[in-house]
């Protein structure tokens, strides 16, 4: 049994087996070829692997952290989510904003009218569609107070991002705040020291905090974007760009009426545990 489980945890191509991943039947065949078992079935292999939740037939895509300061940069963001900056608690007049762009949102007009659900029938959406163009949605999320700001742009970039920042910073309580921390990724419109200098020249109260590269999962605005994608943009059936833009903004207003801060449970301790798991993988690469 142990040898079969070990076999299941191998990558087939590393042993010159022309498979991308093992199935329980393929594992059974390989176990018999190697002499691990004289006779064994795929169902038996599946049952043994199920005991340890080993599923070599499944896979998920990921990006290995390559930023040498990944833990440090991610830790700063996680501290902010828990109301801490450089070891000190944030004041009542300090705020945390997550911001990003959801780019190239298409308007797809279906070639047949979408049919609503009925008795014993789910909603039906025509597979074929016409592309009517695309737009960009820039949004910012107040982490502590569950406020959402956003607008539609024909193009993303520095001008569009600065317009979003202006939308937020000209409103209360941010205009009267002591500091506003903006958590952003490394997109071209707000990347590096150049962006920090540009933003702080216009808005001295802002502290621009960059996520590590390939760490969008640490940006809370992505949670909101996933809700928007699920509730508004899937399935995509819009007869014009104007209707698409209006629907997104109306959903934003509707969502904020009942929004609550996201229950963020991933802490710096969890980050340390994750990095400790990844270090051996990095050394083996």
- Burial, 123: exposed, middle or buried (Cβ in 10 Å; 0-12, 13-18, 19+)? exposed
| Strands ordered across the beta sheet of 206-210 | 147-153, 129-142, 94-110, 179-184, 206-210
Task: For residue 281, tell me if it sits in a domain.
Answer: no
> Are residues 7 and 85 located together in one domain of the fold?
no
- pLDDT score for 282: 57
Rg over CA atoms, the chain: 25
Q: Consecutive 10-residue runs of the chain (285 residues): their mean pLDDT?
A: 94 93 95 94 95 94 82 94 95 97 95 91 93 97 97 94 96 96 94 93 96 92 97 96 97 97 92 82 56
Nearest-angstrom CA–CA distance, 268 and 74: 8
Task: For residue 246, tell me if it sits in a domain.
Answer: no
> Are residues 99 and 15 located together in one domain of the fold?
no
What tens digit of pLDDT does each residue of 217-238 get?
999 999 999 999 999 999 999 9
- pLDDT score for 244: 97
> Are residues 90 and 29 located together in one domain of the fold?
no
- Count of domains in the chain? 2
- pLDDT score for 283: 56
- pLDDT score for 60: 87
Nearest-angstrom CA–CA distance, 125 and 181: 42
> Are residues 75 and 178 located together in one domain of the fold?
yes
CATH of the domain at 81: 3.30.420.10
- pLDDT score for 86: 94
Domain extent for 38: 2-51
- pLDDT score for 35: 93
The long-range contacts involving 42-50, CB below 8 angstroms and separated by at least 24 positions, are 45/4, 45/8, 48/1, 48/4, 48/5, 49/4, 49/5, 49/8, 49/24
């Amino acid at each position: 049994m142990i040898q079969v489980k070990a076999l299941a945890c191998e990558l087939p191509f590393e042993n010159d087996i022309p498979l991308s991943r093992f199935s329980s039947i393929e594992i059974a065949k390989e176990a018999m070829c190697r002499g691990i078992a004289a006779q064994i079935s795929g169902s038996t292999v599946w049952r043994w692997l199920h005991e340890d939740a080993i599923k070599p037939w499944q896979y998920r895509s990921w990006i290995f952290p390559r930023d040498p300061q990944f833990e440090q940069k991610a830790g700063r963001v996680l501290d902010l989510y828990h109301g801490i900056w450089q070891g000190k608690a944030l004041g009542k007049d300090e705020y945390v904003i997550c911001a990003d762009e959801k780019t190239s949102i298409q308007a797809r007009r279906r070639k047949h009218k979408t049919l609503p659900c009925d008795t014993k029938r789910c909603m039906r959406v025509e597979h074929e569609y016409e592309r009517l163009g695309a737009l960009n949605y820039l949004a910012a999320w107040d982490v502590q107070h569950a406020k959402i700001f956003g607008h539609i742009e024909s193009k993303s970039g520095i001008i569009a991002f600065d317009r979003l920042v202006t939308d937020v910073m000209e409103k209360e309580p941010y205009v009267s705040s002591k500091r506003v921390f903006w958590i952003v990724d490394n997109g071209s419109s707000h990347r590096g020291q150049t962006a920090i200098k540009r933003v702080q020249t216009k808005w001295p109260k802002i502290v621009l905090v960059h996520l590590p590269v390939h760490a969008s999962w640490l940006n809370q605005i992505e949670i909101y974007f996933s809700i928007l994608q699920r509730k508004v943009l899937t399935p995509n059936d819009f007869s014009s760009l104007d209707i698409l833009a209006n629907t997104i903004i109306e959903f934003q207003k509707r969502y904020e009426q009942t929004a609550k801060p996201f229950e963020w449970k991933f802490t710096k301790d969890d980050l340390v545990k994750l990095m400790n798991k990844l270090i051996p993988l990095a050394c083996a690469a």
